[in-house]
Structure 1
């Protein structure tokens, strides 16, 4: 375990970014299943539909044809929040809720992080838009839904256009992020090194420090990955992101073990 990461964690100086891999730990639908749903609603064979573009482009096409998220939003809400899911059984969610993470940013739409906080009796403010920022209660953890939340359809970042708008970093949430990121290290969990959209997010966050750090020493940031990828690790290193890998093959178990070691260090 990285000594600087442990020190920053104990001081409450880690800004946690949570991606889809954390939700996958609960058995939530994969992006592949979501694309199959898009294809079905549009009358395409799923295998053919997938050859026409990446996920963002396919979701953009759906938005254009349907005039919005339409019935897809309701389907996602049902699939992502299956009542049979037991968040109390997820050690990963337990560590997120009970660890020393004052502010969590998540690009997941689901509310299982919030439900885990409630299960473990940790008070929190959920932030989706600017009104949520002004209504935050003091002395509570913060969960920032960076790509939106099912409670506000207009906040959901799913199509290509909404994703590009999100990464302009010009909304009130981005102003908050600029303030939150200063003086803190960022720890990314549940993200894929192979995803170009994820790497672009890392790049933009790195630029936030360069543009708004005001001469401060840039903290080291970290990404946990269950598998090593020396090429992607070198790319991330130039942006000040150190990759931490595991010897455990199964990704969920690897992340659980990493968080356990960090929180009990």
Structure 2
């Protein structure tokens, strides 16, 4: 069965994958930002121009499997084109051959079960060669040729591939390339139509997203039932009491366990268990959407981490201040970073019905003014049911029954009864039939989110990035030249309101992007020190 190629804005060191391709050169130096993917004991000779990996090439091979026993395996790929004579003349075809060789090597590694129960293996890689490699100044041309190579490998080997990009101009350009091609998404017609509708809503600022526990389960975090089991194990209850917990509603089981553990230990457990960590592909796909309002019942920080890794600083409500133009995420049931805010037990849910009215009111407002996309939720949460009912009543005119659907629920499997129950409020769209594999249904949901992201990405984010000049048509080139003149006339320290507005527009169009962002080692070129997390390097 053919795999799928995802294009996602994320930090490859934090995205949950089975295999990761790490760019290097013949001296086996890697950019500092990639070292988190490699065992500490293999990193030697740390220098500003790149850290050396204690391995060696055999002959003219270009791919090395990094030893390790974890779930994720790293592979070093030679992407710095020195040319056969050291002149760097082998070009893009040499880079593409390296990608093919690396993916074929990955396919030869036997994997019994993909990471975290995913239906297919996920192989993550950056845009190889666009940092210090052979395509540093021609990113657009490389993307046009790299994406078909990745699709061929996914079709041949049956695994999924995630092309992971960090810069907005890279993501916008890659999505433009994909929009011009056919057959990139193996989805039935009704899901393609749905993606088109939701993508259009997102572009127009009409879409909000509700994120449920199913999204974070893909990152290895517990569902309600699993959380109760983990708390029971921690509490030390005897077998009879633990068996009785299974017969209680989850909120009541949590209340008993909270009493057994004590408030302090429960708070410490929530803070540790739901703290920062690797995020799932779905987190990154959701964070990439051009959406300003997010709501979740999850305690973890994975959506805001994924958003921050592509430069979107998300305000977390109610703890942060909402600011104009800044996306925000409402933690409806609390935040692990603030354990005292977590809603877990029956008593806390009952109290939320009274004291959480202000938070619930935010979701009321979104259901009235936006189209809400529900992802990863079973729609069984008492608070969610209450909020939807209140909105339904508000929308009905007296005696006229004019309630409308205020959102779309992406369900994994068909459930006609639940869809009928919610049909007055939202449209429920199932990814797969009821007898399909839940893992395959979850993967199809990721593919759908990938298509929504492609169709909703603004098509202008690379307009002023010189590395993508080759993608522009004649009209776009004329506009880019005119706007480059505006950029040249704008003072670098513009402080006026008009100057700041113009500078913001130019940044959104790709002005100021650097062609080298650390995806490849510098091959001897000195660079300035930088923050490891940004994976950003610039020539000295």
1:177-207 CA distance string (max 9 Å, x none): 33333221121111126xxx43x44432322
Query: CA 1:209/1:52 → structure 2, altered by over 3 Å: closer, same or farther?
Result: closer
Aligned to 2:306: 116
Describe the SS at the equivalent of 2:208: strand
Q: In structure 2, what is the Cα distance between the partners aligned to 1:234 and 1:168?
A: 29
Q: In structure 1, what is the Cα distance between the partners aligned to 2:444 and 2:417?
A: 21
Q: CA deviation at 1:6?
A: 4.0
Select 1:159's aligned residue among 338, 342, 345: 345
Aligned to 2:429: 244
1:116-149 CA distance string (max 9 Å, x none): 11111112211135xx3xx323211001101100
Q: Is the contact between residue 147 and residue 156 of structure 1 (CA under 8 Å) also seen in structure 2?
A: yes
Q: Is the contact between residue 185 and residue 220 of structure 1 (CA under 8 Å) also seen in structure 2?
A: yes
Q: In structure 2, what is the Cα distance between the partners aligned to 1:136 and 1:170?
A: 18
Q: Is the contact between residue 222 and residue 244 of structure 1 (CA under 8 Å) also seen in structure 2?
A: yes
| 1:87-236 superposed matches below 5 A | 87=279, 90-129=280-319, 132=320, 135-168=321-354, 170-192=356-378, 197-198=380-381, 200-213=382-395, 218-236=404-422
| 1:63-78 superposed matches below 5 A | 63-68=258-263, 70-78=264-272
Select 2:231's aligned residue among 38, 42, 52: 38
1:41-94 CA distance string (max 9 Å, x none): 1523275143341210011122344553x3122223323337xx433xx33112
1:15 aligns with 2:208: yes
Aligned to 1:24: 217
Query: CA 1:29/1:175 → structure 2, altered by over 3 Å: closer, same or farther?
Result: closer
Q: Which moved more, 1:213-222 or 1:52-61?
A: 213-222
Q: Is the contact between residue 212 and residue 375 of structure 2 (CA under 8 Å) also seen in structure 1?
A: yes
Q: Is the contact between residue 183 and residue 219 of structure 1 (CA under 8 Å) also seen in structure 2?
A: no
Aligned to 2:250: 55
Q: Is the contact between residue 413 and residue 430 of structure 2 (CA under 8 Å) also seen in structure 1?
A: yes
Q: Is the contact between residue 106 and residue 145 of structure 1 (CA under 8 Å) also seen in structure 2?
A: yes
Instruction: Kindly report the root-mean-square deviation, in angstroms, between the aligned alpha carbons of the 2 structures.
Output: 2.6
Q: In structure 1, what is the Cα distance between the partners aligned to 2:246 and 2:285?
A: 39
Q: Which moved more, 1:98-107 or 1:28-37?
A: 28-37
Describe the SS at the equivalent of 1:143: strand
1:192-246 CA distance string (max 9 Å, x none): 26xxx43x444323223234448697344111111101111111113x2111111
Describe the SS at the equivalent of 2:304: helix
Q: CA deviation at 1:164?
A: 2.6
Q: In structure 2, what is the Cα distance between the partners aligned to 1:50 and 1:78?
A: 23
Describe the SS at the equivalent of 1:26: coil
Q: In structure 1, what is the Cα distance between the partners aligned to 2:278 and 2:259?
A: 36
- Structure 1: where are the runs of 5+ without partners? none
Describe the SS at the equivalent of 1:226: strand
Query: CA 1:174/1:220 → structure 2, altered by over 3 Å: closer, same or farther?
Result: closer
Describe the SS at the equivalent of 1:110: coil
Structure number with the higher helix fraction is 1
Q: In structure 2, what is the Cα distance between the partners aligned to 1:167 and 1:187?
A: 23
- Max Rg structure: 2
Describe the SS at the equivalent of 2:422: helix
Describe the SS at the equivalent of 2:429: strand
Q: CA deviation at 1:253?
A: 1.1
TM-score, reference length from structure 2 = 0.43
Describe the SS at the equivalent of 1:244: strand
Q: CA deviation at 1:175?
A: 2.9
Q: Which moved more, 1:91-100 or 1:107-116?
A: 91-100
Q: In structure 1, what is the Cα distance between the partners aligned to 2:389 and 2:366?
A: 14
Query: CA 1:217/1:59 → structure 2, altered by over 3 Å: closer, same or farther?
Result: closer
Q: Is the contact between residue 184 and residue 219 of structure 1 (CA under 8 Å) also seen in structure 2?
A: no
